[in-house]
Amino acid sequence: MRPAFPNTENALEDAAALFRAARRAVVLTGAGISTPSGIPDFRSEGTGLWSRDEPMEVASLSTFRTHPERFFQWFRPLAGQIFNAQPNAAHLALAQLEQAGMMHAIITQNIDMLHQKAGSRHVIEMHGTLQTLSCTRCYRKFETAEYVRQFIEEGALPVCPHCGGILKPDVILFGEQLPQSAWFEAQKEARTCDLMVVAGSSLEVLPVAGLPMQAVDRGAHLVVINNSPTYINVRADVVIMDDVASILPEIAKRALHG
């Protein structure tokens, strides 16, 4: 393991070299990759969602079951931001790396579908997705696009057209388990990759935060790109504490054309 590079230019070149040398690169993304697209993160002081609301009161499974209108009232402005958001340069850079065969998979903590909008194909969504809704009564699944306009513009709660049950976004709320298939796939990717890149995640939410350690413990190289320190910086080959939307495109450019 090498120390983090104090010189950003050197760090960019080294990260690009790791991408070029990797046979199975995996990128773990968090909220920090989507904030430049206008989607707020959860924990930033003063601007994060949890600086304004108590998560267990608005975004828990128990709240949804007992007071779904409370959840949807909180969720409505966030849904508007997500559905109006467009991928930024970091999302596009990862899609380019995947298309060039230099990245195998994205493991994301985000629910905003921006990786898919950017063109990424192999995306493992650890906290679910806003692309679909499921009926809490008959369990039918529906495309969110059919309901989102009326919900965002008028506040109309999404209701199942078959049984009248409330439709729940297919995102993981507090008190819910991670999707089992996604978790197994993410662990497999972490344990078989030879390069793990953490992009825009403070690595504070378990169990996803443990995936980079699984990779490093099995010999993978590690690159961390985040505005704030993470617990695993001391194990990284390269640490760049800067805006991921600026840094990832620079790394991709060097990896693809260097």
Which tens digits make up the pLDDT trace of 20-50?
999 999 999 999 999 999 998 755 444 445 4
Q: Which of 171, 193, 226 is the last residue of a domain?
A: 171
Q: Is the pLDDT of residue 258 over 90?
A: no
Q: What is the pLDDT of residues 48-104, one digit of tens each?
A: 454 455 555 777 898 899 999 999 998 888 888 998 999 999 999 999 999 999 999
Residue 143: predicted pLDDT: 94
**Same domain flag for 155 and 257:** no
Catalytic residue ranges: 127
Q: Is the pLDDT of residue 170 over 50?
A: yes
Residue 249: predicted pLDDT: 97
Q: Whole-number mean pLDDT of the chain?
A: 90
Q: Is the pLDDT of residue 3 over 80?
A: no
Q: Is the pLDDT of residue 110 over 90?
A: yes
Q: Is the pLDDT of residue 232 over 80?
A: yes
Residue 53: predicted pLDDT: 52
Any idea which of 56-65, 149-158, 165-174, 228-237 has the lowest mean pLDDT?
Answer: 56-65
**Same domain flag for 136 and 203:** no
**Same domain flag for 123 and 247:** yes
**Same domain flag for 123 and 226:** yes
Number of alpha carbons in the 13 Å side-chain half-sphere of residue 76: 16
**Same domain flag for 252 and 145:** no
Any idea which of 58-67, 100-109, 199-208 has the lowest mean pLDDT?
Answer: 58-67
What's 182's domain CATH number? 3.40.50.1220
**180 — pLDDT class (breaks 50, 70, 90):** very high
pTM score, two decimals?
Answer: 0.90
Q: Which of 84, 145, 94 is nearest to 121 (CA)?
A: 94
Q: Which domain holds residue 1?
A: 1-39+87-127+178-258
**Same domain flag for 153 and 207:** no
**Same domain flag for 118 and 197:** yes
Q: Which of 119, 146, 171 is the last residue of a domain?
A: 171
**Same domain flag for 212 and 250:** yes
Measured CA to CA, the distance from residue 172 to residue 174 in angstroms comes to 7
Residue 58: predicted pLDDT: 74
Q: Which of 110, 145, 171 is the last residue of a domain?
A: 171
Q: What's at 131, amino acid-wise?
A: Q
What's 145's domain CATH number? 3.30.1600.10
**Same domain flag for 113 and 195:** yes
Residue 54: predicted pLDDT: 58
Residue 55: predicted pLDDT: 59
**Same domain flag for 123 and 135:** no
**Same domain flag for 219 and 97:** yes
**Same domain flag for 47 and 156:** yes
Domains of the chain: total: 2
